[in-house]
Amino acid sequence: KALHNTISHSPIHTPVQKSVGANLFLQTVLMIETVVGIPGTVLGLWIFCCRTKLWKAHIIFLFNLVLADFLLLISVPFRIDTHWRGDNWMFGPVWCRINLYMLSVNRSASIAFMTVVALNRYFKVVHPHHCISRISVTQAGGLAVLIWVSVITLRIPLLTINLLDSKGNISLCRSFSSYDKIPLPLVVHYIAHITEFFFPWLVLLLCSARIMYQLNKLRMGRKKVKHAIRAVAVISTVFTFCFLPSVFTGLVGLYIKAFYPTKCKAYNMWINAFMVCIGFTYLNSALDPVIYFFSSSTYKETLKKSLKISKKKKVKASGRGKQLTD
């Protein structure tokens, strides 16, 4: 409460303008996300929907991770346009709320399903006889529905307030603008943004350590354990790379605002760093196919077979071309 009061009445309340370099960086990241993310997401949907014959619990969770990525891909073009215009939002206050809401739901859902996939691998290896390791497809589907309901409900406060801040000729569409007094819906949003990172992050690190311990302990079944540690390690790496930078820089900015309110230059520097690091958050959709590859043998084998077939077709086509020229 004291921290909130300090932040609320801080003299730092002018919106931080993003530098030209920050806008250029975010444009580049978002374009990479779009170019890489769309094919990866479509490929994931094709494999899970059309090529997966036997659905298991972890497939259900990975499929929902793909669905979460769609929310990001729908929202990203509007952010690209905004950064192209020098951080000027042109789509009105209602769509500003919806856009930020969809981005936040994507982040929450991605974190939740990454964590659940890692926990599923963990229980399969470390506690194979536990009831959680034998979760049915129906139960996994029910858990996925519960996760979606939770993250959608958790982020509803973003839809209840105006997030468009007009300053002269520029309209800033942000969920982290500076306020004389932070509105309650944004307090909820900030708390969720921080806690939904640290708790799953600790869970992922714990799962990795426990599976590594199990790998050293067991003499038999090491292949299964190695597969699990690779999957959890990849999830932990993607999770840390995408979400840690923005959380760390954002917390430093809040710390300066709370305890050193006169240091405007340092505050602006860290908030600019935070806005740049938001770009890493957007990359989770482009990197999720790596998680599918290491977490699902079905995805991996289908992808390998598809690549082999395409290579064979290319070889046959080149062979026919040589025959015609001869």
**Residue with structure tokens 């599923």?**
120
What is 18-300's CATH superfamily? Rhodopsin 7-helix transmembrane proteins (1.20.1070.10)
What is the token pair recorded at 74?
A: 């729908």
Rounded to 5 degrees, what angle do the CA atoms 120, 40, 201 make? 40
Averaged pLDDT for residues 123-146: 89
Averaged pLDDT for residues 292-320: 71
Average pLDDT, the chain: 83
pLDDT over threshold 80, residue 18: no
pLDDT over threshold 50, residue 6: no
**Residue with structure tokens 């306020």?**
179
Can you say how many angstroms the Cα of residue 192 is from the centroid of all Cα atoms in its chain? 14
* % of the chain with per-residue pLDDT over 70: 86
Domain boundaries, the chain: 18-300
Specify the higher pLDDT residue, 170 or 326. 170
Indicate the pLDDT class of residue 242, thresholds 50, 70 and 90.
very high
User: What does the pLDDT read at residue 268?
Assistant: 85
Answer for the pair 140, 60: CB distance below 8 angstroms, yes or no. Answer: yes
pLDDT in tens, 194-211: 999 999 999 999 988 888
pLDDT over threshold 70, residue 103: yes
Helix axes 222-259, 92-126, angle to 10 degrees: 140
CA distance 181 to 8: 4
Q: Which amino acid belongs to residue 109?
A: A
User: What does the pLDDT read at residue 164?
Assistant: 87
Q: Annotate 211-243 with b (16+ C-beta within 10 A) or e (fewer).
A: beebbeeeeeeeebbebbbebbbbbbebbeebb
Indicate the pLDDT class of residue 89, thresholds 50, 70 and 90.
very high
